[in-house]
Amino acid sequence: MATTTGLVQQLKWNPALGAVFAWIGPTPQDTRLRYVLFRRDESSPHRSIRRNLVFGLTMAQWFRLPVVVTHGDGDAEISTLTIPPAARLYVVDRPIHLDFFSVTADGIPGDAVLVFTSAGGATTQVVPDLIRPQLAFVAKLPTTVPLGPGTLRGTSASGWSTLPVAIDVLAGPPRVKRVIQPGPSKPNPFTFVIAGDPALWTPSTNTYAADPVMANRSGYHDSVLYGLRNILTLPEDCFRANDRDVHIRFVSIFDSSLSASDQNSLAYTSEPNIIGPRRSQMAAFARRYGETADLLFAVTGDPIYTRASANLTVDDDARPGVTFTYDGASHVHRRFTTAPGCAAVPWTAGAADPTWLHELGHAVSSTASGSIFDLYVDGGPGGFQENKKFRAAAPDPIPTSFAALDGTIYASDPTRDALGYPPEWRSYHAQLLDATRPNLMDNFWYSTPYTAVRFDGLTHRFVIDRLSAKFFR
Amino acid sequence: MDPLHPAFRDLLKQAHPDLTDAIIDRYEELTARQFLLDPEADAERFAALDRERQRILREYMPRYRELWQEFEERRRSR
């Protein structure tokens, strides 16, 4: 027996022959002709089988589902028909023109396309801006997608196809809160909130002003896409290794109705060009929209204050955690937080740098369980620093071993990639995962391209373990 | 905190004849330490680091903000 697979591109009933002809293949131009033959003298059960074959072919054609038909080796008459289980697509939230739009499914391929079909039959294909195996994300749903009721399905040139789902496309307005990826269905998924900052605080004058990002929703959408690409597509994979990003709930909040006041201010400015997150406001802000944030990044829009910075997570020491040892001393990655790790990032951050990922390196860490600090300066914040150690004096040799994490020894970086340790420095770092580039927490501007930088091996493991403690609570 | 772009470091030194890499490095270290702090929960330490940082800016890099604005505009226009 032989098989033919593909989409049912065309069906034709030939009454004179008593046959239904089926053209099966990946495209209308690339098909194989097969047929179902109704014989005058065959029994009722056999005729029923033929009818079922035709019904199945018809349904497969209608829903654009791939089929597998069997037939004789030198023969085109169809003996059996199989329609493999099709992927199911889940729309996260209602499609609205120019708003974020995302769908979840299993095994979304990198060449996936979203096909919108209106009630009148008009189709529009939308290529997602970001694809993960579980998520297809569009930063701004094009206005070419037909309004009103219709269907949506996923498809790809590589053969992936989903059942269609009913949708109703709106012209607007974009939502204030948009769930980008719902995360696991449990009461407390690890939640990463991205918010447009409603108001900037100037500490020196204790005044509040509307953040310019509130007048630039389109730029905010671009920033969110840039940030998600930073987190989910760059060579540094600690947020997505083994598809672990399926455990993250991503939410966007953009509320331009808020006044410029203390409780609505997520970021502050500091001379001459620095933007800082107001960690004290983050948790309460997210709760107002029904979210408990583990991480919160505030996107700001001032054109001068564009140097991003982050604050560490404050873990909830009263709740459970996962114990680990660092150089033999016991520490705990707590599963929950009292204040989210956070950052203020400018919407002008370009797609060509790893700023979000760098700030995330700070934000996911905590003072109690080991802070992750900048490696482009010699000093540190004091306390337990996970990624930096100090020699007693600058001329002292760098130790071969940097640290032991859960009993595994990680070597030191003897040369600080190509940058070198300045002769007056006492600090030193752990061995890099990519020795040809600076550490992500070092001066990544010295890498080509900027976005190719990675953590050192110790910090990579440390962050994965820390996130696991929170993802799997 | 975002690291200092090497091209901007060069711009600073060109515009400020007395400015050295060591002074910039000291400024960067203060900045990195200051902005890992919560300005409200750690107000005293934040303010102490800020005073020292602002002093270095005034004394050695008074044109920092103007140069940064030009630098950012050039980057955005590319």
Q: What is the DSSP string of B10-74?
A: HHHHHH-TT--HHHHHHHHHHHHHHTTS-TTTTHHHHHHHHHHHHHHHHHH-TTHHHHHHHHHHH
The residues near A215 (Cβ < 8 Å, ≥ 6 apart) are: A256, A301
Residue type, A277: P
The DSSP symbol for A364 reads T
Q: Whole-angstrom Cα distance, residue A456 to residue A454?
A: 7
Residues in B touching A446 (Cβ below 8 Å):
6
Q: Whole-angstrom Cα distance, residue A200 to residue A281?
A: 12
The first and second tokens of residue B18, run together, are 């007395």
Interface test with B, best of A270, A281, A371, A437 (most B CBs within 10 A): A270
Task: Look at residues A226, A112, A207 and name the one whose alpha carbon lies nearest to residue A161.
Answer: A112
Q: How far is CA A256 from CA A177, A211, A213, in A?
A: 11, 9, 9
Q: Half-sphere exposure of A211 toward its Cβ, with a 13 Å CA cutoff?
A: 37
Q: How many other β-carbons are positioned within 10 Å of the β-carbon of residue B16?
A: 18
Q: How far is CA A48 from CA A38, A43, A183, A210, A466, in A?
A: 10, 9, 46, 71, 60
Q: State pTM to two decimals.
A: 0.87
The first and second tokens of residue A157, run together, are 């040139």
Q: Whole-angstrom Cα distance, residue A216 to residue A303?
A: 12
Q: Are A139 and A224 in contact (CB under 8 A)?
A: yes
Residue A266 near chain B (CB below 8 Å): no
Give me the pLDDT at residue A30, please: 83
Q: Which of B1, B6, B41 sits opposite A307 (nearest CB)?
A: B1
Q: Whole-angstrom Cα distance, residue A214 to residue A255?
A: 8
* CA A163-A168-A171 angle, 5° bins: 135
A-to-B residue pairs, Cβ atoms closer than 8 angstroms:
94
Q: Whole-angstrom Cα distance, residue A351 to residue A226?
A: 6
Contact A377 B57 (CB under 8 A): no
Q: Whole-angstrom Cα distance, residue A229 to residue A244?
A: 15
Residue A216 near chain B (CB below 8 Å): no
B31-70: per-residue pLDDT in tens?
999 998 889 889 999 999 999 999 999 999 999 999 999 9
Residues in B touching A204 (Cβ below 8 Å):
none
Kindly give the confidence (pLDDT) of every residue in chain A, 473 residues in length, as a single tens digit, with 9 standing for 90 and above: 899 988 898 999 999 999 999 999 877 888 999 999 999 888 999 999 999 999 999 998 987 788 899 999 989 999 999 987 777 899 999 999 999 999 999 899 999 999 999 988 889 999 999 999 999 999 999 999 999 999 999 999 887 888 889 899 999 999 999 999 999 999 999 999 999 999 999 998 999 999 999 999 999 999 999 999 999 999 999 999 999 999 999 999 999 999 999 999 999 999 999 999 999 999 999 999 999 999 999 999 999 999 999 999 999 999 999 999 999 999 999 999 999 999 999 997 556 899 999 999 999 999 999 999 999 999 998 899 999 999 999 999 999 999 999 999 999 999 998 789 999 999 999 999 999 999 999 999 999 999 999 999 999 999 999 999 999 99
Contact A272 B57 (CB under 8 A): yes
At which residue do the structure tokens 């934000």 appear? A363
Q: Whole-angstrom Cα distance, residue A268 to residue A271?
A: 10
Residue B69 near chain A (CB below 8 Å): yes
Residue B64 near chain A (CB below 8 Å): yes
Q: Whole-angstrom Cα distance, residue A243 to residue A31?
A: 36
In DSSP notation, A63-106 reads HT--EEEEE-TT--BEEEEE-PPPB--EESS--BTTS-EEEE-S
Q: Are A400 and A389 in contact (CB under 8 A)?
A: no
What ipTM did this prediction achieve?
0.96
Q: Whole-angstrom Cα distance, residue A86 to residue A129?
A: 23
Q: Which of B29, B38, B68 sits opposite A379 (nearest CB)?
A: B29
Residues in B touching A308 (Cβ below 8 Å):
1-2
Contact B33 A442 (CB under 8 A): no
Contact B4 A376 (CB under 8 A): yes
Helix axes B64-77, B6-15, angle to 10 degrees: 140
Tally DSSP H helices, then E strands, for chain A.
5, 31
A299 beta partners: A196, A345
The first and second tokens of residue A383, run together, are 């306390």
Residues in B touching A340 (Cβ below 8 Å):
none
Give me the pLDDT at residue A350, please: 59
Minimal Cα distance from A273: which residue of B?
A: B65
